[in-house]
Structures are given as structure tokens and as C-alpha cells.
Structure 1
């Protein structure tokens, strides 16, 4: 039997909240939405368009990507 501590539960909740945020934002964006792991803040959802070219350090911290949902093809 696996026991989930309060810390692990909070960690999971933060991850799933960031994923949900990224998924919502991706529906209305040309850019991919990434969830990155941050040692101090937990998980953050970022818009690739806000950061331009992501640094290798940021790329290494990506744990989830929601592809942008707005297509620019006509």
C-alpha cells in the first residue's frame, strides 16, 4: 500500500492545477503552453510566445506541453 503524504498531495495538486491552466490557455493561443517545474514556486504554466526562444535551462524543466490550439492556416 502506498501512502501519500500531505507534501506529496500538495505537489500533485500544484502539478494538475498548472496542467489545467496550460490546457485552458492553449485553446486560445498560437503558442504552446508549457508547465515547468520550479524549485521555489512549484509548477508554473508559461506561454512560449511570452518568452521567445526558451533557454536550455527552461527547456530542461518542462514537464508538460499543451500545443497551441489556434491555427494560422487559411
Structure 2
């Protein structure tokens, strides 16, 4: 699932996307990525929505938060 945040300042938009990624990572098996977007600034993307990220998204990753849930039980 992808979440979009709209903001006028790119740095604020980055921190909003990072916060979304960190919150989602706590309850996910998948990594959460902050992606640079030409139109929106930054957005949080769940790797589980794409399996492996397609190359056009992978090159735009600026930060990754690893999923916090373990599948070892």
C-alpha cells in the first residue's frame, strides 16, 4: 500500500514520508522505502506491494526502514 503526503516544503515532506515508513515498518514483514517523487516530493512505499521493487522505483529510494515483524515463530 502506498501512502502519499502533500506538502509545500520538500524537507518537511521527506520527514512526513519517513515517519509514515517508520510507523508502518513496526507492523510489517516488508521493508518500507522513502521514494523521491517528481510530483509529490517524497512518499512512503511498502515493498510488499511490489514484491521486489521495479528498477524505476529502486533508483529513487532515498531511505529504507526494515520491517519490524519476524516470521520465525
TM-score category, normalised to shorter length: 0.7 to 0.9
Gaps of 5+ in 1: 1-8
Segments of 4+ moved more than 3 angstroms: none
Higher strand share: 2
Higher helix share: 1
Paired residues in the alignment total: 66
State the Cα deviation string for residues 20-65 of structure 1 (Å, max 9, x = none): 0000000000000000000011111010001122111111000010
Provide the alpha-carbon RMSD of the alignment. Answer: 1.1
Gaps of 5+ in 2: 1-7
Larger Rg: 1
